A and B are shown apart, each in its own frame.
Chain A
Amino acid sequence: DVKVTQSSRYLVKRTGEKVFLECVQDMDHENMFWYRQDPGLGLRLIYFSYDVKMKEKGDIPEGYSVSREKKERFSLILESASTNQTSMYLCASSLNSLGSTDTQYFGPGTRLTVL
């Protein structure tokens, strides 16, 4: 089975802090994704990566950046956390280079609270 792990289940940070969310997948998948999930809005794509050191902006990239130095690891960075970034963050991966229309496998999520 594909396993996608996220470094923290719950995280509490203060406004202005730099926040790192880590995601690791163990199935040699090409593509990795970061979403945020908010009630009534479903999942919205923040960034995705289709190869090491490659990244593409999703629908809501403002206030975020990403890093993919190794194939299995994809990090989401909040440069200066704000209260409106309080949310559930979900990482996902998919196998091949056809892009995100392939089946995506999700991690358990990180619930981030910014005070």
Chain B
Amino acid sequence: AQSVTQPDIHITVSEGASLELRCNYSYGATPYLFWYVQSPGQGLQLLLKYFSGDTLVQGIKGFEAEFKRSQSSFNLRKPSVHWSDAAEYFCAVGMFSGGYNKLIFGAGTRLAVHP
């Protein structure tokens, strides 16, 4: 069955440290891939997306993600985390499922940043 897995529910990092949030998916074809961020009490904001081409994509706020087809992964990275990055991060995969195209979301990873 098609699914999206974010293995880490909570992650805590120190300000200035590097960050990697994991995302794995199960899908038979090449999917469309997205990372969204949700600040407390807010809706979701698109960080970056991958449709085709270069497998390393740059997004807003200094984030990047790399699509690895062999690992069915689309991990999000940032070299130096800022306190304002504390939020919940969602990986989403666009796929054909149940008779229509749709986005399937992971359960989210909540990021805390220590000063």
Contacts and interface: CB of A to CB of B under 8 A. Distances in A.
A103 B100 contact: no
B108 A58 contact: no
A59 B98 contact: yes
Interface in B78-115: 90, 92, 94-95, 98, 100-103, 105-108
B56 to A, nearest CB: 19
Interface of A (DSSP majority class): loop
A55 to B, nearest CB: 12
Contacts of A4: 43
Contact of B102 (A9, A100, A103): A100
In this complex, the interface size class of chain A, counting residues with CB under 8 Å from chain B, is 20 to 34
A108 B46 contact: no
B107 A41 contact: yes
A105 B103 CA distance: 12
Contacts of B94: 100-102
Given A43-B90, A90-B43, A103 B105 contact: no
